[in-house]
Amino acid sequence: MLLVGGLVGTLWPSFAEANRGGNWFDDAAAMNSSGAPSIRINLSEQKAYFYKGGRLVGSSFISSGKKGFRTGTGKFRVLAKRPNHRSSIYGSYVDRNSGRVVRADVDTRKHRRPAGTYYRGAKMNHYIRFNGGIGLHASGHVPRYPASHGCVRMPPHMARKFYQYSRVGMPVTVTY
């Protein structure tokens, strides 16, 4: 699906253009457009945009960092990509014998691990790290308002597309 029409010549779509429809990605444009890829994240809109050589080829709703965990703004580069990443800070403590979650929403820096449990980090599939431990990743909960611990959550099908076409070293710009 190609919804780029009026976007040619601009790196930032207008608010109306950006909010037309839902999530979309044009694989053919991503494969056939010349130029370097880049990602732009607009925190005010709670949207991420994938560009190939200045041409918008995809757009996704996101959920960024909530109060106290705000996603930082700035110009970054993709530092690493991991297809099946798990958080080293946020997750659950799980009973070793039963596999039952003993405590959910754990912050390993604050919550001690109870005896007889192990830590299981939250899934962050299709993880694209760009600012320290902050990155884009798939999530089943993308409410389109800030709700994360700083990362940029995306619907799984969109995180997969952004992951597929991103490269280590490519620019990621985060603005309001």
Give, as one character, the DSSP assignment of residue 19.
Answer: T
Half-sphere exposure of 64 (CA within 13 A, CB side): 18
The pLDDT of residue 158: 98
The pLDDT of residue 21: 57
How many CB atoms neighbour CB 146 within 10 A?
Answer: 18
List pLDDT tens digits, range 5-20: 333 334 444 444 444 5
The pLDDT of residue 20: 55
Q: Which residues contact 112 (CB under 8 A, 6 or more apart)?
A: none
Coil vs helix vs strand at 125: strand
- pTM to 2 decimal places: 0.85
List pLDDT tens digits, range 75-104: 999 999 999 999 999 999 999 999 999 999
Sites in the chain below the pLDDT cut of 50: 1-19
The pLDDT of residue 26: 98
The pLDDT of residue 11: 43
Amino acid at the residue 150: G
The pLDDT of residue 51: 98
Q: Which residues are catalytic?
A: 137, 151
The pLDDT of residue 115: 97
Domain 5-175: which CATH number of 2.60.120.20, 1.20.1090.10, 2.40.440.10, 3.40.50.300 = 2.40.440.10
